[in-house]
Structure 1
Amino acid sequence: MTVSHDERRRAGKTAADPGAAAPKPRSRWTLVLLLAVCVAPVLASYFTYYVVRPAGGSTNYGTLIAPQRPIPATLALRNDAGQVVAMPTLKGKWLMLSVDASACEGRCLQKLYYMRQVRLTQNTDRDRVQLLWLRTDDRPVPQKICDAYGDAQFYVADAAALAAWLQPAKGDGIDRHIYLVDPNGNLMMRFPDNPDPSRIKQDLTRLLKWSGIG
């Protein structure tokens, strides 16, 4: 049987018709992957830090606060000049905070020292971390504290309001821990009483490494 030129041309066109076999939606999956990577850097950092764990268990030293507790909108702080600051306005950096009486002895001094040293060990990332000392009374701060910890911010806050937000471990007071607040204003970690500063440093270093915020 003889096939005409027109028939051969139509057959070739049909074989080459792109509608005959739809291409795989690779571009769609590429877009989904890009969105997954870009949508929330802080979520990606938390996933890497808390979910992707080496054999043997948890990588973190501090206790993860779950669910996260944002800074209360009504939590007010007062500086020594009498100016009132809404604590949510302090977000934007990693806040490492401690709560104590103004006299600051014993455990209080130890926590402030550990906080300062841990921040300094972050080298070029130390400016991403702000030290915050929240006092539960408005008595004068010893001059030695002011001289030694000038890189920290000192405020007076209501103890009951702080306890409602920080919710320390059962049986502990709010003054027994160092706390970490992420740059979005979420309380995310509580370190043990009488902590190991080298392990606090490891936690903070990992968070700063994996997170692009703050």
Structure 2
Amino acid sequence: MQTPRPSPSAINKARAQHQQSTKGSWNKGRWMLLLLALVCAAPVIASYLMYYVFKPTGGTTSYGALIEPQRPIPGELLVTDEKGQPMPLTAMRGKWLMVIVNGSDCNEQCATRLYFMRQVRALQSAERERVVDVWLRTDDKPVSDVIKNAYPEPDTRMFVADQKALAQWLPVSDGTQLTDHIFLVDPNGNLMMRFPKNPDPAKIKNDLAKLLKWSRIG
């Protein structure tokens, strides 16, 4: 007995059902891939949010002022190191940098900020090796032996830099000047934060501790 051939309408109906089933399977698979991608990306997204929009305990904003938009270390910004050799400041990328600007005479305000930076760094315990204190000197006059001995390399670096170039990179708040602030630069070389004049070192420590905890770079 010859098997009857399906009618054209039946063939078209079966074809439509197959296409609908295939399309449904494809859409389901695509959504599964998207969901998997979101799950994999979640830690990265969370890290990014905590890195740039973190809030200390209590829901208040960070103590330091976040610098927006980012200001990377200018590629043309050259400094002179402790041995009198020129180098781009971008060579310091890879570490968290706490930065001050002052003349080489280092007045009382300068000495206080150097002390604060040293204490903040020391209080990071095992994480302190990820942090370098940087004093950008606006002249090439000699630094006193007392300061050199109190803040030795490599924990503290003392570079000579052009004050005008620094002023173009480092923003100040209203009513202050470049020498009033401690700045924080991330390991990617981006200026991230500016702390206020006459800062509270305990609050600087808290900001830095959270950044070191939530970001594994540097």
TM-score, scaled relative to structure 1: 0.83
**What is the letter of the counterpart of residue 79 of structure 1?**
D
Separation (CA, whole Å) in 2 of partners of 1:145 and 1:37: 43
Q: Which moved more, 1:170-179 or 1:188-197?
A: 170-179
1:35 maps onto 2:37 in alignment: no
Partner SS state of residue 54, structure 2: helix
1:178 to 176, 179, 182: 182
Q: Aligned partners of 2:23, 2:187: CA distance in 1, in Å? A: 53
3-state SS of paired residue (1:102): coil
Residue 206 of structure 1 corresponds to which residue in structure 2?
210
Paired position in structure 2 for 1:95: 97
Please tell me whether residue 196 in structure 1 is matched to residue 212 in structure 2. no
TM-score by length of 2: 0.82
| CA distances 1:182-213 after superposition (whole Å, capped 9, x unpaired) | 00100010001010000000000000000011
- Return the offset for 1:168: 1.1
CA contact under 8 A between 1:111 and 1:178: conserved in structure 2? Answer: yes
Counterpart secondary structure, 1:179: strand
Match of 2:162 in 1: 158
Partner of 2:86: 84
SS in 2 for 1:68: strand
Letter in 2 for 1:165: W
Number of matched pairs: 197
Match for 1:135: what amino acid? Answer: R
Letter in 2 for 1:35: A
Find the counterpart in structure 1 of residue 54 from structure 2.
49
CA distance in 2, matches of 1:136, 1:205: 29
Q: CA separation in 2, counterparts of 1:202 and 1:72?
A: 28
